[in-house]
Structure 1
Amino acid sequence: MSGSALTYTFLGPEGTFTEAALLQVPGAAEANRVPCSNVNTALERVRRGEADAAMVPIENSVEGGVTATLDAIATGTELRIIREALVPITFVLVARPGVKIADIHRVSTHGHAWAQCRLWVDDNIPNAEYVPGSSTAAAAVGLLEGDAHYDAAICAPLVAAERPGLNILAENIGDNPGAVTRFVLVSRPGALTERTGSDKTTVVVPLPEDRPGALMEILDQFATRGVNLSRIESRPTGQYLGHYFFSIDADGHASDARVADALAGLHRISPATRFLGSYARADAQQTSVAPHTSDAAFASAHAWVRGILGGESAPQSVG
């Protein structure tokens, strides 16, 4: 990128939960922030070198993985996750001045937001039709345009506060008051972030062959090395019916011996495995490591094998 200021893309427009996640990054408030209408566009600008990194949603505590992001980072030119951010999610219902809840027949928002507000919607506007939006903020901003084909939008409180043309008809309409969305900052491949002891590693593993035990073989690479998985989701590759890849978050850093050994095992059985990064956990939760899976245990075991191969340790006689 030209100049000294960093450029970040994010799922826009301004005021989205994604921008709130981006603003948790040190220096992002002073950086160039470019809103994008969808995840693919945000990531492609990074791939083309038009931005230094992109902030995109990857997981929600209620709805699970964000499929658009999981698919976009699993294909195309490789990218790396360098940071994650957690944002508590609250929703409001907004409309143009003069519109009342009784007047609402069509509501627009992002699909994940709609899913998180369905109980409130069923109780208060049960006959309302859902109009998919590219983001919660885009749906709200669309109401200010003359050709909006819906009556109300579900968005973040910040969006409504920053736009005087929107009236808040209802607050805290989310079905789960503890909902949190996880976002990741994605850049082009480079040096790994430093290990902190509270880390996460993300990989994409294509199922090498659709046969009994194929998934178990993948999971065993982690289990036998004491690596805990915090997320695993299957996604279709799009090549043909029944062909899937697995998106996996594992506790630990690629420089941890147990994680490195697991990655090597994955590559042996599925050479198309894609490493998406090791980075600090947003919640700073320390990774629990059993003594026999510690770096010291792996180093001792490797030294023992080297000793055998080097003839330093003769096998004991039997009988």
Structure 2
Amino acid sequence: MARIAYFGPEGTFTEQAARILAPDGELVPFETIPQALAAVRAGTTDGACVPVENSVEGVVPATLDGLADREPLIAFAEALLPVHFSVLTRPDTEQIHTVASHPHALAQVRLWLEEHLPGARPVASSSTAAAAVAVQAGEYDAAVTAPVAAEHYPLKVLATEVADVRDARTRFLLVRKPEHPLPEPTGADRTSVVAAAANRTGALAELLTELAVRGINLTRLDARPSKGNFGEYRFFFDFEGHVAEPRIGDALAALRRRCRNVRFLGSHPRADGVRATIEPLADNHDFTDAAAWVAAVRKGELA
């Protein structure tokens, strides 16, 4: 049975995602995202489930930085969860003066709290489940948590299905060491890389052009500072397609030529099942046909 680390403690949305991505795995909670990733690198676990982006609050910096630094890890699968929260209290709580949760969660229920608990003070915690633990310990009066938290902690559900944005979703990754074989391409895949471009005019535009001229649709772009040099940034790209496809491989080779450092972060099926958009003259056959023509020219086989 595979051991899968996840951003815990028990009762987080990440636990829910891990149940989907590794239904037969032994799930092992870790207090932080870096600790979960470190467990995979150390061989303590076979993989890790971590959040990567939320449709309301954006990317999760700890995950991006954790994948860009140290030994490589590869994303092999993803899950997309709707984000609706529960508000938990101790059974004997009569008045709520403090509400604890992860900052992303507090931001996604701000309007609900203003309407239903206008006198409560929001307090940031390391995770939604850590907030539940703190409420159980009597440190705070209520916690905004994932619904699964109610299965782990003896708390009362004050409210459920709480969300300011009803269709908010969070994407989670299952990452492993790169020696495992990649999933086969499905036609509805996502490839991720991080590139450290030179700090000069037009560097990012050049990278984007390499994708555009090959008809590759970009699905996410984020910039994070390079920790070693102030003012320098790493760019995180998600785009449609799989590294096994000639057009994607051609684009990755071009990015590698352009950049001082490119790290491949994975190719895997998209959780939403959206198939890649193929522009005219940018089909994989067009790339293989062009490569075959060049090979023929080099051999002098053209009439």
Query: TM-score w.r.t. structure 1 length?
Result: 0.90
Residue in 2 that maps onto 1:63: 57
Residue in 1 that maps onto 2:90: 96
Residue in 2 that maps onto 1:50: 44
Q: C-alpha displacement at 1:131, in angstroms?
A: 2.0
Q: C-alpha displacement at 1:294, in angstroms?
A: 1.2
Contact 1:46 1:53 survives alignment (8 Å) = yes
Q: How does 1:164-313 map to 2 (within 5 A)?
A: 165-190=154-179, 191-209=181-199, 211-313=200-302
How many angstroms apart in 1 are the aligned matches of 2:152 and 2:178? 36
Q: C-alpha displacement at 1:137, in angstroms?
A: 1.4
Correspondence 1:13 to 2:17: no
Q: Does the residue aligned with 1:195 lie in a helix, a strand or coil? A: coil
How many angstroms apart in 2 are the aligned matches of 1:254 and 1:158? 35
Correspondence 1:139 to 2:131: yes
Q: C-alpha displacement at 1:161, in angstroms?
A: 4.4
Residue in 2 that maps onto 1:317: none
Q: C-alpha displacement at 1:42, in angstroms?
A: 0.4
2:115 to 123, 140, 152: 123
Correspondence 1:22 to 2:14: no
**What per-residue deviation string (whole Å, max 9, x for no partner) do you get for residues 68-103 of structure 1?**
111111111100000001111111221112324xx3
Q: C-alpha displacement at 1:256, in angstroms?
A: 1.0
How many angstroms apart in 2 are the aligned matches of 1:310 and 1:31? 52
Q: How many residues align?
A: 302
Q: Does the residue aligned with 2:162 lie in a helix, a strand or coil? A: coil
How many angstroms apart in 2 are the aligned matches of 1:266 and 1:127? 52
Q: C-alpha displacement at 1:284, in angstroms?
A: 1.5
Q: C-alpha displacement at 1:162, in angstroms?
A: 4.1
Contact 2:11 2:151 survives alignment (8 Å) = no
Query: TM-score w.r.t. structure 2 length?
Result: 0.95
Contact 2:10 2:152 survives alignment (8 Å) = no
Contact 1:10 1:35 survives alignment (8 Å) = yes
Contact 2:197 2:261 survives alignment (8 Å) = no
Larger Rg: 1
1:152 to 142, 167, 176: 142
Contact 2:100 2:124 survives alignment (8 Å) = yes
Correspondence 1:82 to 2:99: no
User: Amino acid of the residue matched to residue 105 of structure 1?
Assistant: H
How many angstroms apart in 2 are the aligned matches of 1:6 and 1:161? 23
User: Amino acid of the residue matched to residue 184 of structure 1?
Assistant: L
How many angstroms apart in 1 are the aligned matches of 2:6 and 2:92? 32
User: Amino acid of the residue matched to residue 99 of structure 1?
Assistant: T
**What per-residue deviation string (whole Å, max 9, x for no partner) do you get for residues 127-180 of structure 1?**
43332222111211221125x2x22110122212443x3122223321011111
Shift of the 294–29 alpha-carbon distance from structure 1 to 2, 3 Å rule, reads closer
Residue in 1 that maps onto 2:67: 73
Q: Which moves more between the two structures, 36-45 or 104-113?
A: 104-113
CA RMSD of aligned residues (A): 1.6
Shift of the 29–302 alpha-carbon distance from structure 1 to 2, 3 Å rule, reads closer
Contact 1:46 1:188 survives alignment (8 Å) = yes
Contact 1:291 1:297 survives alignment (8 Å) = no
User: Amino acid of the residue matched to residue 17 of structure 1?
Assistant: F
Contact 1:119 1:175 survives alignment (8 Å) = yes
**What per-residue deviation string (whole Å, max 9, x for no partner) do you get for residues 183-206 of structure 1?**
000000122221111110010011
